[in-house]
Amino acid sequence: MIQPASMIIGTGSCAPDKVLTNSDLEKMVDTSDEWIKERTGIERRHILETEKTNSDLGACAAERAIEDAGLKAKDIDCILVATITPDSFFPSTACGVQAKIGAKDAAAMDVSAACSGFLYGMTLADALIRSGQYRNVLVIGSEVLSRFTDWEDRTTCVLFGDGAGAAVMTESDGTRGLLSSFIKSDGRLGRLLYLPGGGSTHPATHETVDQHLHTIRMEGREVFKHAVRTMVDAAVHGLEKGEVHSDDIDLLITHQANMRIIDAVRERLKLPEEKVFINLQEFGNTSAASIPLALDQARREGRIRPGDKVLLVAFGGGFTWASGVVQF
Ligand code: ACO
């Protein structure tokens, strides 16, 4: 039996109030509610108000997670923010969150692994706790994808939304916690899903703006195929490492990218529909925020009970893929 080093003691999430429905999108690009629902399962997505930033959303989710954990901000030793839509290149979004929640004794840094970012963050948090370096680590996934979406490109703009989720991890009490985590990457697949402009390769110029280089580019069909393959790979490795059989999983929470991808993964893992948590109809694909948003919602709706084993699985740009088996 695996002895976990760390456990989740609190979760929180935050979504902007403003909602963009599929019918709203019908007025912006050549698409239809029917096409979007049938091909993706998405019905609406939340969009951050212009005056707010990624770290505002992250701080909101963080405060809810800290409260849920029964802690105060000053108890947090380290803040990891998984994001591909930071407030700015530097300082990190994690430093922005730190200032907003008043976690004055914490170290803070960002993690960049696209949609797998939250599970990368959980893996790092577990290692930091396991090594004795820190006691309470706050892991956040927070994204404002709406600001990096090409609203004239119907092949991508229907997919993404904004949101944040967070978890407080601390030393395991020996009975529950992270039984395993698995993270992997393949940088050769980077160009299937990326944001070309704004970095040192293509710094912002009038031309990069004219060419829409500051928005997400994606080869949808190719991403779809790799997503199913990599998520199944991550799930199988995570279950093996955690010494857990898929029959013993009480709930599967995958990255919320597309209903057809989630169905394909569920079928390959031979899990029944009722063991899968889905909220993409409400939020769309929120990249690194997707798993912690779903995890928090599932906990608050009573879908996760004490003793349950939850399998978390993600894939994202990079390519990156990851899993975690958590005993609650
Ligand atoms: N509305 C209406 N028609 C559309 C739209 C739209 N929004 N988008 C594309 N189409 C059309 C295409 O032009 C094409 O038309 P054609 O047959 O006349 O050429 C047709 O619909 C089919 O297009 P496909 O791309 O083959 O559609 P597909 O069934 O593959 O669905 C989708 C597209 C939803 C993007 C799918 O490929 C997918 O989900 N891929 C994975 C994407 C993903 O998960 N990305 C996020 C990764 S996470 C991260 O790291 C950010």
pLDDT digits (tens, 9 = 90+) for 162-221: 999 999 999 999 999 999 999 999 999 999 999 999 999 999 999 999 999 999 999 999
Give the pLDDT band (50/70/90) at residue 6: very high
**Residues 277, 250: contact at Cβ < 8 Å?**
no
The mean predicted confidence, pLDDT, of the chain is 97
CA distances from 140 to 35, 169, 200 (A): 32, 11, 26
Instruction: Please tell me the class of the 179-327 domain.
Output: alpha beta
Query: What atom in ligand 1 is closest to the CA of residue 160?
Result: 51
Give the pLDDT confidence score for residue 111 in this predicted structure: 98
Q: Whose Cα sits closest to atom 51 in ligand 1?
A: 287
pLDDT above 90: percentage of residues in the chain: 99
Ligand 1, atom 35: nearest CA belongs to which residue? 220
Q: What is the pLDDT of residue 11?
A: 98
Residues 81 and 283 sit within 8 Å (Cβ to Cβ): no
pLDDT at 298: 98
Q: What is the pLDDT of residue 328?
A: 97
Ligand 1 interacting residues, C-beta cut-off 6 A? 31, 35, 39-40, 114-115, 154-155, 158, 193, 218, 220-221, 223-224, 227, 257-258, 285, 287, 316-317
Rounded Cα gap, residues 68 and 297, in angstroms: 13
Q: Is it the case that residue 125 has pLDDT exceeding 90?
A: yes
* Residue recorded with tokens 């770290």: 55
**Above 90 in pLDDT, residue 47?**
yes
Q: Tell me the C-alpha to C-alpha distance, in Å, between residue 204 and each of 72, 86, 194.
A: 40, 16, 16
pLDDT interval class at 1 (50, 70, 90)? confident
Average pLDDT of 112-120?
98
* Domain map (residue ranges) of the chain: 6-175, 179-327
Substitution candidate for ligand 1 out of 143, 155, 159 with most atoms within 8 A of CB:
155
Q: What is the predicted pLDDT for the residue at 267?
A: 96
Ligand 1 centroid from CA 159, angstroms: 9
Same-fold call for 6-175 versus 179-327: yes
The reply to whether 206 belongs to the active site is no
How would CATH label the architecture of 6-175? Answer: 3-Layer(aba) Sandwich (3.40)
List helix spans (H) across the chain. Answer: 22-26, 33-40, 54-69, 93-101, 117-130, 154-157, 206-210, 220-242, 259-268, 280-283, 290-300
pLDDT score recorded for residue 133: 97
Q: Pocket of ligand 1, candidates 24, 28, 36, 39: which has the most ligand atoms within 8 Å of its Cβ, to mutate?
A: 39
User: Active-site residue 285, yes or no?
Assistant: yes
Residue in 115, 157, 258, 279 annotated catalytic: 115
Q: Is the pLDDT of residue 259 over 90?
A: yes
- pLDDT of 229-251, one tens digit each? 999 999 999 999 999 999 999 99
- Model pLDDT, residue 177: 98
